[in-house]
Amino acid sequence: MDSPSLVEHIFAERVPGAKPEWIADILARLVWLTADNGAAICASLKSWLSSENEEEAAVALTFDEVFLWETDAEMEERLSGIEARFPGLSPLCTVARSRWSGQRR
């Protein structure tokens, strides 16, 4: 059996009540400390954008070190999916869209 990824391990071992932004902050710092420059972290978080677990999706949305999509269409597909599954995360999707829009200017 494969061992869990670093992201999965941190998420599984979090304290009850840990806010998504706390976990995202730790992961953002680790991006710059891992041998693969965060590629595995970002891959895990990107998969969480399609997760059926609302807390995983919230952590991925709160992560702001890099974008977890490449195009406008990919962003919209992922964020629209999150909003459909978890309407309460819509404000985080709005923030993500604004960040994307702001960096493209």
- What average pLDDT does the chain have? 93
Q: Give a yes or no: residue 1 inside a domain.
A: no
Identify the band that residue 1 occupies on the pLDDT scale cut at 50, 70 and 90. Answer: very low
Q: In the prediction, which pLDDT does 102 show?
A: 85
Q: In the prediction, which pLDDT does 28 show?
A: 95
Identify the band that residue 2 occupies on the pLDDT scale cut at 50, 70 and 90. Answer: low
Q: Give a yes or no: residue 52 inside a domain.
A: yes
Q: How many CB atoms lie within 10 A of CB 82?
A: 24
DSSP per residue over 40-55, as a string? HHHHHHHHHTT-S-HH
Q: Give a yes or no: residue 34 inside a domain.
A: yes
Counting the structural domains of the chain, the total is 1
How far, in Å, CA of 57 to CA of 27, rounded? 14
Helix (H) or strand (E) holding 101: helix 90-103
Domain ranges, residue 58:
6-103
Q: Give a yes or no: residue 97 inside a domain.
A: yes
pTM: 0.91
